[in-house]
Structure 1
Amino acid sequence: MSIGAEVAAHLPFLRRYARALTGSQSTGDAFVKATLEAALADDDLAQSLKGGRVPLYAAFNKLWSSAYMEVAEETDGRGAHETAAQDQLKRITPLNRQALLLTTVEDFTPAEAAQIMDVDESDISQLVQEAIEEIDRENTTSVLIIEDEPLISMQLEDLVRSLGHDICGTAATRTQAQQIAAEQTPGLVLADIQLADGSSGLDAVDDILEMDSMPVIFITAYPERLLTGNRPEPTYLITKPFQESTVRAAISQALFFGSSRPLG
């Protein structure tokens, strides 16, 4: 496989990691672009990327950890969130956040995460625990679950409650989600993409975000359909089947940053 094909296969997921790490699609993409430009200018770095995801993420992390990049934000009314996200980042240890995302959302092993971050493997578990403790200091909230599979919905309910949050309602269709959100404004939404009656979880979320702003975590078996780079993408995107640790990390991240970038 060529270097270009190798990188292209992992690029959507690196962009997901970058967005979650920075809380911003524009800032995350800017760092990904800078990483690729660095590889084009350095033959040794370019050759290392043939090794798969680990060296690609390592190259990105090295760049992100060593520089703060000012990026022109979109002019679609989301500038306040971007500014708040960057302010939040300045108040939490970057290593902790990287370790948490790499081992949960990106599903790297502790050894791989240590290689990416250039730290000892023995440090990873401590960094993850510190990140969780720091983020969990945030206030609890009410959560709306939009999911048409009863077993998954129940699993998410149990998980959300175990984190100390309340459930304001569960919905299996777009209409049900609209009704619940109109009656009880949620502080967080967990949304499947394809719903029972053929309606779209994306449309349901758009309806809710017209009422008020809150973080949204999308759940789908087909993340590549959303990670195309052709339109604004969700900051928080979980792949089915999911690990509970991944959902926990995404919830913590979403509440940490306050409001989520919606699709569309």
Structure 2
Amino acid sequence: MNQTVGSEDFAMNVATELPYLRRYARALTGSQTSGDNYAVATLEAILEDPMLAKSGKSTRVTLFGVFHAIWNSSGAPVAAEEAGIEARAQAHLSRLTPNTREALLLSTIEEFSFEQIGEIMKIGTAEAEEFVRIAQRELAESVTGRVMIIEDEAIIAMDLQSIVSEMGHAVTGVARTRDEAVALGKAERPDLIFADIQLADNSSGIDAVNDLLEILGDVPVIFITAYPERLLTGEKAEPAFLITKPYSEEQVRLAASQAMFFSSTETLRH
């Protein structure tokens, strides 16, 4: 069924997909501000050119396709005025094979097929698959470090420990509550934090992370939640890295590599 920009169905579909486009944009740029700027530019482009909504593709593929047209034309993954982690990310990104990380994020985090990735990125299906393989290898080889896990479900915590350990990271420990998380973070500074939202004593994983960041400074954080739309509202500061439950091993691997890739490498083992 053809949809137009002004149609109610198209507007509803865009509203449904927008949190995921914003999640993708943040993961791609490593910055909430830069990611949201690209998402806004995407919506503006669709409003200015109604023909984009008549491509015959799904709203989701159309939305991400317009995003990529803007992304490719900008030539700058991170805004020039960004500093700290975002600025260091710009230098790191230049070492990756062009377009491979985009393909990997589309495949693993957003779960597009290789055919859909090809449509979004304007490349062939085989090329999309090859891009994903290259990015997996390059990101896995980028950096390793110390990982802290804030998770009250024992099975999930063990699973996360196993995955990140197999990647070559050292796990500093597992915290089940906000207080345990702060104590663990003080005892051994992590290079990366995995954090569930709801903890064992009904404390908040978000509060635990905020406490830790006040103490530790810039440390990349990956939040894990069954309800990503509750965090991706655009109303307040949001995580650049977010995994949706139930997650796959590949999603955890990608998120960890992405977050490490965007973090400072001063304390990481190469």
Report the CA distance between 1:136 and its aligned residue. Answer: 2.1
Equivalent residues in 2 for 1:40-189 (5 A)? 40-48=47-55, 51-68=58-75, 71=79, 79-189=83-193
Contact persistence 2:14–2:63 (CA under 8 A): yes
Matched, 1:228 2:226: no
Q: Distance in 2 between matches of 1:203 and 1:46?
A: 41
Alignment-derived partner of residue 31 in structure 1: 38
> Given residue 230 of structure 2, which amino acid in structure 1 is its aligned partner?
R
Report the CA distance between 1:158 and its aligned residue. Answer: 0.5
Question: When the two structures are superposed, what TM-score results if normalisation uses the length of structure 1?
Answer: 0.91
Report the CA distance between 1:228 and its aligned residue. Answer: 0.1
Alignment-derived partner of residue 262 in structure 1: none
Q: Distance in 2 between matches of 1:238 and 1:99?
A: 17
RMSD: 1.8
Report the CA distance between 1:240 and its aligned residue. Answer: 0.5
More divergent stretch after superposition (134-143 vs 46-55): 46-55
Report the CA distance between 1:104 and its aligned residue. Answer: 0.5
Question: Equivalent of 1:258, from 231, 250, 263?
Answer: 263
Q: Distance in 2 between matches of 1:96 and 1:50?
A: 23
> Given residue 47 of structure 1, which amino acid in structure 2 is its aligned partner?
K
Report the CA distance between 1:50 and its aligned residue. Answer: 7.5
Q: Distance in 2 between matches of 1:105 and 1:167?
A: 23
Alignment-derived partner of residue 10 in structure 2: 3
SS of 1:237 mapped into structure 2 = strand
> Given residue 237 of structure 1, which amino acid in structure 2 is its aligned partner?
L
Alignment-derived partner of residue 242 in structure 2: 237
Report the CA distance between 1:111 and its aligned residue. Answer: 1.6
Structure 1 gaps of 5+ residues are: 260-264
Structure 2 gaps of 5+ residues are: 1-7, 265-270
Matched, 1:190 2:194: yes
Q: Distance in 2 between matches of 1:71 and 1:163?
A: 30
> Given residue 112 of structure 2, which amino acid in structure 1 is its aligned partner?
F
Q: Distance in 2 between matches of 1:231 and 1:219?
A: 18
Deviations 1:116-158 (A, max 9, x none): 1111111222211211222222232111111111111111011
Contact persistence 2:143–2:257 (CA under 8 A): no
SS of 1:2 mapped into structure 2 = helix
SS of 1:79 mapped into structure 2 = coil
Contact persistence 2:197–2:206 (CA under 8 A): yes
Q: Distance in 2 between matches of 1:107 and 1:120?
A: 17
**Structure 1 stretches of 4+ moved >4 Å:** 69-73
> Given residue 14 of structure 1, which amino acid in structure 2 is its aligned partner?
L
Q: Distance in 2 between matches of 1:93 and 1:8?
A: 32
Q: Distance in 1 between matches of 2:104 and 2:80?
A: 27
Matched, 1:19 2:19: no
Contact persistence 2:146–2:172 (CA under 8 A): yes
% identity of equivalent residues: 49
Question: When the two structures are superposed, what TM-score results if normalisation uses the length of structure 2?
Answer: 0.89
